[in-house]
Structure 1
């Protein structure tokens, strides 16, 4: 599976936008992409979940793995614009406490210089 669309904002934040189903088939690709971005020096990452219609434990694992490597590199991984299904899964697993959803990609890092 090829990497998901990614772009860099003017503030130097990399935005990755997975689409469709983020399950055991797609999650390894996202995990590799997030690790490659951080390894390449991009420690501030936003995952735009506005086009992700489904997420399972594998998808959550990819996000947590990306969060871990970003924080180890001195940055952070944030999620933005999750769909209702994604929000429900985050709430059911209590991961909404670790991966707080932001309304928009542009506002995800507003609290940092």
Structure 2
């Protein structure tokens, strides 16, 4: 199965809803979507992984690349990861130490953005 990426706004966040497989084939599509969002001025990006079926090391690399790109520009990345199976992959990679794994897009909207702290 291929990856699907849908973009929408949940101010102040830009949301990329990702479904299917985030793997060697799908990771470049995520990279392109992130580059496009950042080029259009998005600094707060949420990746909604609610519809994600599979993620491998290439997908993890694309997520880390997105985090790095956003933080270099004064922004941040949030992950919506309600699936225990997918969440576990991010926890095994210790990514839960550098970004918050949310259960829903609503919890992202309610969360305090680190860049807003003085």
TM-score greater than 0.5 by the shorter chain: yes
Match of 1:42 in 2: 42
Structure holding more strand per residue: 2
Task: Please list every run of 5 or more consecutive structure 2 residues that lacks an aligned counterpart in the other structure.
Answer: none
The count of corresponding residues between Structure 1 and Structure 2 is 112
* Preserved contact between residue 34 and residue 66 of structure 2 (Cα < 8 Å): yes
Are 2:53 and 1:53 aligned? yes
Partner of 2:5: 4
2:95 is the counterpart of 1:73: no
What's the counterpart of residue 112 of structure 2? 111
Determine whether 1:22 maps to 2:22: yes
Question: How large is the RMSD of aligned CA atoms in angstroms?
Answer: 1.8
Deviation for aligned residue 1:13: 0.9
Give the TM-score taking structure 2 as reference length. Answer: 0.85
Q: Tell me the equivalent position of 2:86.
A: 86
Per the TM alignment, residue 100 of structure 1 is displaced from its structure 2 partner at its CA by 2.1
Q: How far did 1:3 drift?
A: 6.6
| Secondary structure at 1:17 match in 2 | strand
Normalised to the residue count of structure 1, the TM-score between the two structures is 0.89
Secondary structure (helix, strand or coil) at the match of 1:48 reads: strand
Q: Deviations over 1:30-72 (max 9, x none)?
A: 0111121112110100000010011111001111111111111
| Residue 99 (structure 1) aligns with | 99
